[in-house]
Chain A
Amino acid sequence: MPAPAQSRVIFQHIDEPGYTNDLACYVRHGGYEVLKKSITRPPADLIEEVKKSGLRGRGGAGFPCGVKWSLVDRKSGKPIYLIVNADESEPGTFKDRYIMHQDPHQLIEGTILSCFANNVKQAYIYIRGEMPEGARILEKAIAEARAANFAGPNILGSGYSCEIYVHRGAGAYICGEETGLIESLEGKRANPRIKPPYFPAVLGLYQCPTIVNNVETMCHVKVIADLGGEAYAKTGTPGNTGTRIFCVSGHVQRPGYYEFPAGTITMGQLLNEVCGGPLPGRTFKAVIPGGSSAKVLRFGERYKGKRKVGADMVDYDWGVEDVPMDFDCLAMIGSMGGSGGVIVMDDSVNMVEALANINAFYQHESCGQCTPCREGSLWMKKISSRMVHGQARKEDAALLKSVADQIPGRTICAFGEACSWPTQSFLIKFKDEFETYAEVKKTLPADRLALV
């Protein structure tokens, strides 16, 4: 089956020759028309549209946006804040940055619409610390939008006012975890909060109800406000509506970002047809489908079971290539759609070394608050690092797996899963490579992987 055609909605103007990130260009292309027509509607209608749309958050967990909004405590009498999560730090993910760099007004329009829907008077865009250029662009765009009365006081004469502030992140991956982000925005160390009691919807920023949504999620809200929830939901598949952006990196002919109706493309179509297949003379070995914390898939393995299609339960028997790239199918086969970062590894990759690299990242990014993640991530890193430096033992495979098993489900935030899933899945699927690494290492050049 040939791959479906790309359908660029969020990325409509990305890399378009002549498209600039200023207000005039955005307005020339129909920008802020959705805001104009929506700002006269009752805000509750917009929440309803988002619920009907089935939009799932694009930050990683795929949580239904409408449900998130309906959990917000609206009776507390406290202000409601909205935070745009622009910390994009999951290795393999590069989509939000393009939106902010090349089409910032799209994000601003989506944000103002979301704020309007939720009666938010103050929003923050928390942008990754390492993206100073993005912060400058956003600052300028917000100033433009304010000057044109698309943001700020009394937007378009509606009586509704909303300010958006850009906050530069503190330079750590954990600043992207929503409660860590909130702490950081409050000026503290980005230590994620315990839930309960600190659910952002109730006790978020400054202990007020708070909505945290991903950059791309905000852009989808604009599309929903434009089309209506039902029309939006016609794109994609039930449960996975709208379009999905995949950031493909690694060993394919054409890495890059691609946008498709959600759930309509399989891994094989994406990698072989859209991305041009493996590099010359190579074959695919493994792929991580949703950012580096997602569990790895091994080419050649089969996934079998029953799944719901419409009202029916049908059998499936898939290879990696056959898996539809949506949240549910990827979860079904034991991984996740996550942030859409697809990391491809061909047969030149040694999986011990790949894991050593991933472990080094997560060890470096653990906030260090809770024991299993803090100690487990470093221990795993020390083991895999020792292995690639020539001191591998056969028993390290079992040890690594056992250490990883002591982490997930026992931590304050989902970083516990993020740091242990790679090791768990690598060890389940490539155990032999770990057990024999000591021998293999002797045949490799000594200066490999100086980094970890």
Chain B
Amino acid sequence: MIAAPKPDLVTVNIDGVDIAVPKGTNVIEAAKQLQKDVPHYCYHPKLTVAGNCRMCMVEMGMPAVDPATKAPVIDPATGKQRINWIPRPQIGCGTTVAPGMHIKTSSPMVKDAREGVMEFLLINHPLDCPICDQAGECKLQEQATGYGRGYSRFIEEKNVKPKRTQLGPRVTLDDERCILCSRCVRFSKEIAKDDVLGFVDRGSYSTLTCHPGKKLENNYSLNTVDICPVGALTSTDFRFKMRVWFLKQTNTLDIESSVGVNAVIWSREGVIYRLTPRRNDEVNDTWMSDSGRMLYKQVAAADRLAAITVNGAPSGLDIAINAAAELLKAGSVAVVGSGRASVEEQFLLKKLAEQLGVSAALVARTGQGDTLLISADRNPNVRGALVTGLISALPAAQLTQLAADIDAGKVKTVVSHGEDLLAAGLTAAQLAKVSVIYLGTHANATSAAAKVVLPTLHTFEKAGTFVNQQFRIQTFAAAVPGPQGATNDLAVLSKLVVALGAPATASDVQALWPALAAAVPALATMLYKNIPETGLLLDATPWASLPFVEGETLKFKPVASALTT
């Protein structure tokens, strides 16, 4: 792994404690390193500083120097250099650290300023928390508890603004709750590069709106909901469905491309309500696409496979495994793996292929990259298949070799891990010539034609790892149980491997890892439980010359471009 260069450090004093922070750090971030919370609304670490909410005010001073000689001025009382405190509060978000800077984050001046801002923010706010979706994750609510008066001095009429504007297909706006922090405006302009939001009217009547004739409909629109500190922007999909404090949070990954966006699944009693991004500065900052979030709907889709079948008739797991093993033992087998399967599943599938003496194929899934967080490779884990050795070359979209082998009568049985063989280029006639053992989550033409159907789990229902386009191995965990009748892919695969004569094989991720690490050079010395939340970069040199399809995205520059040009 490559060590990051040591940043230039600047020492500042916050509430009496000296701390060295990298040059360019602002006061909010510096204070955070000392576990000091500087409350803020408009500041967002991944957006430009607007400095408009004025909640983050701190008291600031600089060491005194003699104007003529530049010599430090010493305070005789303390023997230390005197500090010239600025008589008005400064904004923490817009103040960059300087050597010797002194900061007070909770002096009377600071408290007074904060309480003033808090009161101002609340006077025209509807205070409709009981019916507001943001309740429980609202910064206004949180900070009102810390800095509010607890009663109102405001007896005037509150401003009236539009209550439910559809800004686009996925985002609803309540202007009365908006505190005009401009985070959503800056996000749209700076990150999504879709400058459609802005304010009309002036002063306290300022109203967030979409440019006339335009909509907030880019594929990143839901990030505005995440970063809106109040309940002004809500997800049309999620709103009014569930109180957030009832929801369990489980770490997962975006499964729509090889970017490997870090995400969180929010679920309750086995039902997923939403997906939101999880910060990873090396992968996705704090962002995630709308399309990736909506994939949770696959989990409870009507076409989920839940019945184990053999020859179309309902069956039990062991009977189906035996039926599959019979087919496999007869020989002439082809194995089709999946770029959507986890590293662990790919490892077991590779074992199976080895037992059968064949090499596996994978189906490529590509599309236009969006240069942000969706890459051209729409499989989340092709690199996992390379790392585990399931494949050694990049996959193609069409299984032409398999088609030819079927036509030539060389293949009689196909094991497909979730791939629809028709979609991957086989004809119905070719499909009819072979016996298919299908492990998958959703019904399709292949599962309909399969001899043995073994329903398995969706990513959000199981644990495992993916290797993203950076060769970063990242983990995901099970958020909800799978449908009754579905079996964890690892369990199915290990049973098949055992049925073909291998000794008992671990069927859960943790237990499988020692064997995995021992067999896979790139993962040697690693343990599943030691993979940090932000992932680990693997040594990618063995695959450096492969013509990967990804172009540039938010945190990724293809290496290949340097080689080919």
Contact = CB atoms under 8 A, between A and B. Distances in A.
Interface of A: 172, 189, 194, 196-197, 363-372, 374-379, 382-383, 386, 399, 402, 406-407, 409-412
B57 A410 contact: yes
B119 A406 contact: yes
B50 interface: yes
B55 interface: yes
B53 interface: yes
Contacts of B52: 369-371, 412
Nearest to B206: A368
Given A366-B203, A371-B52, 19 more contacts: A189-B199, A194-B51, A363-B204, A367-B203, A368-B180, A368-B205, A370-B53, A370-B54, A371-B55, A372-B54, A372-B117, A372-B120, A374-B180, A377-B203, A386-B156, A402-B153, A406-B117, A410-B54, A412-B51
Contacts of B153: 399, 402
A411 B156 contact: no
8 contacts: A367-B202, A367-B203, A369-B52, A371-B117, A375-B123, A375-B124, A378-B124, A406-B119
Contacts of A372: 54, 116-117, 120
A420 to B, nearest CB: 11
B204 A375 contact: yes
A303 B124 CA distance: 40
A411 B94 contact: no
A252 to B, nearest CB: 33
A411 B55 CA distance: 11
A374 B204 contact: yes
Contacts of A194: 49-51, 91, 94
Interface in B43-76: 49-55, 57
A341 B125 CA distance: 37
Interface in B64-101: 87-89, 91, 94
A386 B153 CA distance: 15
Contact of B121 (A363, A366, A375, A410): A375
A172 B50 CA distance: 21
Interface in B217-259: none
A376 B120 contact: yes
A365 B156 contact: no
Contacts of A377: 203-204
Nearest to B158: A382
B386 interface: no
A410 B88 contact: yes
A365 B119 CA distance: 21
Classify the secondary structure of B's interface with A. Answer: loop
A371 B39 CA distance: 14
Contacts of A367: 202-203
Contacts of A368: 180, 199, 201-206
A371 B202 contact: no
A364 B91 contact: no
A412 B91 CA distance: 10
Contact of A410 (B89, B203, B204): B89
A399 B154 CA distance: 9
Report which residue of B88, B113, B180, B203 has the largest number of chain A beta carbons within 10 angstroms of its beta carbon.
B203
A411 B120 CA distance: 13
A19 B240 CA distance: 72
Report which residue of B91, B120, B180, B206 has the largest number of chain A beta carbons within 10 angstroms of its beta carbon.
B120
B179 interface: yes
B54 to A, nearest CB: 5
B116 A410 contact: yes
A371 B206 contact: no
B481 interface: no
A386 B91 CA distance: 33
Interface string B186-224: 000000000000110111111000000000000000000
Contacts of A196: 94
A386 B156 CA distance: 8
A281 to B, nearest CB: 38
B124 A371 contact: no
B539 to A, nearest CB: 41
A223 to B, nearest CB: 33
B126 to A, nearest CB: 14
A332 to B, nearest CB: 18
Contacts of B117: 371-372, 406, 410
A379 B51 CA distance: 22
Contacts of B54: 370-372, 410-411
Contacts of A407: 116
Nearest to A416: B54
A382 B116 contact: no
Contacts of A386: 156
Nearest to A385: B156
Contacts of B87: 409
Report which residue of A363, A364, A367, A370 has the largest number of chain B beta carbons within 10 angstroms of its beta carbon.
A370
Contact of A379 (B123, B179, B180): B123
